[in-house]
Amino acid sequence: MIFLIRKEKVGFMVDAAIYGFAIGAGFALIENVFYLQKLEGAHVLVWIVRGFGTAIMHGTTAAIFGMVSKNLSDKYSSKKVHIFWAGLAAAILLHSFYNHFFLPPILITICFVIGLPLLIVFVFDLSEQATRKWLGVGFDTDVDLLEVITTGDILESRIGQYLESLKSRFSGAVVADMLCYLRLHLELAVRAKGILLMRQSGFDPVSDPEIKTKFEELEYLQKSIGKTGKLAILPFLRTSSRDLWQLYLIDK
């Protein structure tokens, strides 16, 4: 994890959580194989608690270490050793809590299973807010963002820098589809707001026959970029899917 952060292979805190959990779970697998050879006569329930519990524990502690270290690395723009001490201390405390059996092993495992997803969601929300703050300079509305994309100035903006950084994780074709998805999503979002404003003012908006086609294209692009790709561009998507669905219903 330290190597990944110092070599700038971790883009955001949510990446640190994913990498950290994978590293921790991998270590737990090796550890459990070792104990499996030493405790051949153990009951299957022991291995369920021992194997699954330690996998969750090691994954969680490594994820927390990665998230804390990544956050401090970004905050202080440093890759020195001292930024890793806080994350290491948090991981040690969590590991100690698990090993000292303050609660029954099964209950501790359940707490980890329930708590980890909540922690990841919380961290992802923080990461998304930080990304929006970094990207949001000058993009107070969807119209401003759409204008940057359509005028060709995107390469000189932070959006362009962000999309450029995604090329190390996604193919060029997928990044291009992300940009198309973002542009189409913004177009529909702007239109949805326009229709709602017209209705509030007492005007009856004219039906657009291309709306259905655009929704079909949006659905195709969403499948093309996948769930991970959509998560990567989520900081740009200020309008919810429910708002776009309202547009579709209004325009039918």
- pLDDT digit string, tens, across residues 57-84: 888 889 889 988 888 887 777 778 888 9
Three-state DSSP class for 205? coil
CA triple 238-239-243, angle to 5 deg: 170
Q: Which domain holds residue 76?
A: 2-135
The yes-or-no verdict on residue 137 having pLDDT over 50 is: no
Q: What does pLDDT average to over the chain?
A: 77
Express each pLDDT in 203-224 by its tens digit. Answer: 777 777 788 888 889 889 989 9
Give the residue ranges of DSSP H helices in 137-204.
142-150, 158-165, 172-200
- Amino acid 169: pLDDT: 74
**pLDDT category of residue 31 using cuts at 50, 70 and 90:** confident
Same domain assignment for residues 170 and 243: yes
Domain boundary among 135, 150, 171: 135
Give CA separation, 230 vs 29, 62, 85, 103, 137, in Å: 31, 26, 33, 39, 21
pLDDT above 90 as % of the chain: 5
Domain boundary among 93, 116, 135: 135
Same domain assignment for residues 152 and 76: no
Same domain assignment for residues 20 and 69: yes
Domains in the chain, number = 2
Same domain assignment for residues 149 and 116: no
- Amino acid 6: pLDDT: 85
Express each pLDDT in 243-252 by its tens digit. Answer: 556 555 555 5
Same domain assignment for residues 57 and 171: no
Within 8 A by CB and 6+ apart from 217, the residues are 184
- Give this prediction's pTM: 0.57
Same domain assignment for residues 153 and 122: no
According to DSSP, residue 240 is labeled: -
Give CA separation, 77 vs 5, 8, 72, 125, 131, in Å: 11, 11, 8, 21, 16
Same domain assignment for residues 103 and 195: no
The yes-or-no verdict on residue 150 having pLDDT over 80 is: no
Same domain assignment for residues 124 and 196: no
Same domain assignment for residues 48 and 114: yes
Contact predicate 218/187, CB 8 Å: no
Express each pLDDT in 162-179 by its tens digit. Answer: 777 777 778 888 888 988
Domain boundary among 77, 100, 135: 135
- Amino acid 23: pLDDT: 93
**pLDDT category of residue 85 using cuts at 50, 70 and 90:** very high
Which one of 116-125, 129-138, 153-162, 181-190 scores highest in mean pLDDT? 181-190
Which of 120-124, 128-132, 168-172 is the least confident region?
128-132
Same domain assignment for residues 105 and 230: no
**pLDDT category of residue 138 using cuts at 50, 70 and 90:** very low
65 vs 84: CA distance, rounded Å: 8
Same domain assignment for residues 120 and 36: yes
Same domain assignment for residues 9 and 121: yes
